[in-house]
């Protein structure tokens, strides 16, 4: 059970109060040209990115791999950091800070753990209403994809210009 303060070991007087945000991870799993979303089994109900709380002694990357496996049955690779989301209101249950990764999924998706079901959504047909701040995260992801695609295209054009046939 979490504690609200540290106590003096000699007299048990409260010394300092701590209320820290809880670290979480979310994973944008790309597979088959789409994104895997889960339908949450527990409140808040609705569509969400796979993810969850970081366990003590676990790195953020390890937590992402574990949560992806638990909720989707998928192994993930090529983890890329999309960003961190820390709005105190992002989760109505408590203050969380989410580190969001983009990864490629491998295997046959199947819902597990906190996921009642899952679905592969095309990137141009993602649900508008999502749990937490996942709509904002996916909007950032779509901007990120456009930027990466533009850089790849510019790089290919530069390569063609550098090496004429």
Lowest mean pLDDT among 10-14, 27-31, 108-112, 126-130: 10-14
**Mean pLDDT, all residues of the chain:** 89
Tell me the CA end-to-end span of the chain in Å, nearest whole number: 68
pTM over 0.85: no
CA distances from 46 to 42, 61, 69, 152, 154 (A): 9, 25, 20, 35, 39
pLDDT at 157 > cutoff 50? yes
Which pLDDT score, from 0 to 100, does residue 160 have?
Answer: 44
Write out the two tokens for 32. Answer: 């088959």
Which pLDDT score, from 0 to 100, does residue 114 have?
Answer: 86
Which residues make Cβ contacts (< 8 Å) with residue 18, sequence separation at least 6?
3, 4, 5, 6
Which pLDDT score, from 0 to 100, does residue 165 have?
Answer: 45
Per-residue DSSP letters for the chain? ---SEEE-TTT--EEEE---PEEEEEEEEEETTEEEEEEESSSSPSEE-SEEEPPTT--HHHHHHHHHHHHH--EEEEEEEEEEE--TTSSTTS-EEEEEEEEEEES-----TTEEEEEEEETTS--S--STTHHHHHHHHHHHHHHHHHHHHHHHHHHHHHS--
Q: What is the CATH number of domain 21-162?
A: 3.90.79.10
Between CA 29 and CA 103 the distance in angstroms is 5
Query: Over the stretch 50-92, which tens digit does the pLDDT of each residue have?
Result: 999 999 999 999 999 999 999 999 999 999 999 999 999 999 9
Between CA 91 and CA 134 the distance in angstroms is 10
Confidence of residue 158 (pLDDT cuts 50, 70, 90): low
pLDDT at 3 > cutoff 80? no
């Amino acid at each position: 059970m979490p504690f609200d303060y540290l106590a003096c070991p000699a007299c048990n007087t409260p010394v300092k109060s701590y209320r820290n945000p809880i670290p979480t991870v979310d994973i944008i799993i790309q597979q088959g040209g789409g994104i895997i979303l889960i339908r949450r089994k527990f409140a808040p109900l609705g569509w969400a990115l796979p993810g969850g709380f970081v366990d003590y002694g676990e790195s953020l990357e390890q937590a992402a791999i574990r949560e992806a496996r638990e909720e989707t049955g998928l192994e993930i690779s090529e983890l890329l950091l999309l960003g961190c989301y820390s709005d105190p209101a992002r989760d109505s249950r408590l203050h969380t800070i989410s580190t969001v990764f983009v990864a490629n999924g491998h295997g046959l998706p199947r819902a597990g753990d906190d996921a009642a079901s899952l679905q592969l959504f095309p990137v141009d047909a993602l649900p508008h209403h999502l749990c937490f701040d996942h709509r904002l995260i996916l909007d950032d992801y779509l901007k990120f994809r456009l930027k990466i695609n533009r850089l790849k295209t510019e790089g290919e054009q530069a390569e063609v210009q550098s090496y004429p046939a």
